[in-house]
Amino acid sequence: TLIGDAEIDEGSVWEGLFFISDKNINNLIIIVDRNNISASSLIEKKKNLDINLLEKLDIPIREINGHNITQIYKTLKETYKSKKSVILIANTIKGKGIKEIENNVKYSHHLPKMSILEKYI
């Protein structure tokens, strides 16, 4: 399953994680897109992705570069063989590769102008 780092701030995510841990569910790969931006603000200073708290769930945690396809593939292949569920923290940059969009909260809700996109086509 794929969730955003801002979603970790929601109780339903924690309830799901507690359930996975408590019931020893062993067939999930949870990918957290960690780009430090929610739908409306930067979240880099919030502690919503507290690794110490996640570690207490007894679910293995791995951090990867969410832009490195080779690393993603290799890690998914390794974790697929795991006997436990796994949390993969994929560190990413929102809008990576388009400098006008990178880390810009505005583009959580707005489409970029064609003049911006045409530079990258």
Q: How many helices (H) and strands (E) does the chain have?
A: 4, 4
Other CB atoms closer than 10 Å to residue 61's CB: what's the count?
Answer: 14
Contact 91, 64 (CB under 8 A): yes
For 11-23, write each residue's pLDDT tens digit: 899 899 999 999 9
pLDDT at 48: 61
What does pTM read for this prediction? 0.85
- Give strand pairing partners of 65: 91
For 51-97, write each residue's pLDDT tens digit: 788 888 989 999 999 999 999 999 999 998 888 999 999 999 999 99
pLDDT at 91: 94
